[in-house]
Amino acid sequence: MKKLFYIGALSAFLLAACGEEEVKPKEDAPTEEKEVKEEPAKEKPVTAQTEATEASPSEAQNDTIEAFKSNDFMKFADAFYGLSASERSDVYRSTVEGAMVTWTGIITDLETVKDSIIVMGKTDAYNGADWITLENDNADLVPYVIIVEMNDPSVKTGLKKGDSITLKGEVGARGDMDMKFNWKLYKGEIVK
């Protein structure tokens, strides 16, 4: 008797759990072929957001993109930081992120990040401070700092703080004036 009770309870439980799905008769269920044919006919609705992302860049954004292509870090940084937050995001996503660049600056630190060279792109503002001092005491300069993760960290041998250096790398993170973020390059190499 207990077995019948448990079987009945289990059956009721399973029916309740599965009962929420509507079962369609086989002839009403669309075939895969029909679904594939119907998919392309659907169009994306046009929204204000889609139109905004497809809008052409402003003159200031175009100037910033041209400055970026020049490989002059300060020319680019000044133009980039002059854009509105949304314009900066658009330029970064469309042009800067993942791009290979060649930037010049002054070595500020070779020790703090073992596989990287830390460079001050705003050379006229370099005051001899290392990365920790810049981060803690000169945060307004951090958006002009470039941390370059080197392909081969042994190339740091023979370099010294205060040297001018030109490095090539892939942009992986952007600087930010408000948040006091630095730039980050990956796959770094010294340009001879």
pLDDT digits (tens, 9 = 90+) for 83-119: 999 999 999 999 999 999 999 999 999 999 999 999 9
Residue 139 structural domain: 58-190
Task: Report yes or no on 142 lying in a domain.
Answer: yes
Task: Report yes or no on 48 lying in a domain.
Answer: no
Task: Report yes or no on 62 lying in a domain.
Answer: yes
Identity of residue 14: L
pLDDT digits (tens, 9 = 90+) for 137-167: 999 999 999 999 999 999 999 999 999 999 9
pLDDT digits (tens, 9 = 90+) for 25-71: 445 444 444 333 444 444 444 444 444 455 788 999 999 999 999 99
Task: Report yes or no on 46 lying in a domain.
Answer: no
Task: Report yes or no on 94 lying in a domain.
Answer: yes
Task: Report yes or no on 152 lying in a domain.
Answer: yes
Residue of higher predicted confidence among 24 and 192 = 192
CA 68 – CA 119 distance, rounded (Å):
18
Residue of higher predicted confidence among 16 and 56 = 56
Tokens encoding 119: 């460079």
pLDDT digits (tens, 9 = 90+) for 125-141: 999 999 999 999 999 99
Where residue 192 falls among pLDDT bands split at 50, 70, 90? confident
DSSP run (H or E) holding 11: helix 2-18
Supply the DSSP symbol for 111.
S
For residue 173, report the phi and psi dihedrals to the nearest 5 degrees: -155, 145
Task: Report yes or no on 37 lying in a domain.
Answer: no
Read off the pLDDT of each residue in 177-192 and give the average, rounded to a whole number. 96
Could you tell me the CATH number of the domain that includes residue 138?
A: 2.40.50.140
Give me the DSSP letters along 117-152.
EEEES-GGG--S--HHHHHHH-GGGGGGEEEEEESS
Residue of higher predicted confidence among 9 and 95 = 95
Number of domains within the chain: 1
Task: Report yes or no on 18 lying in a domain.
Answer: no
Do the Cβ atoms of 80 and 101 come closer than 8 Å? no
Length of the chain counted residue by residue: 192
Read off the pLDDT of each residue in 166-189 and give the average, rounded to a whole number. 98
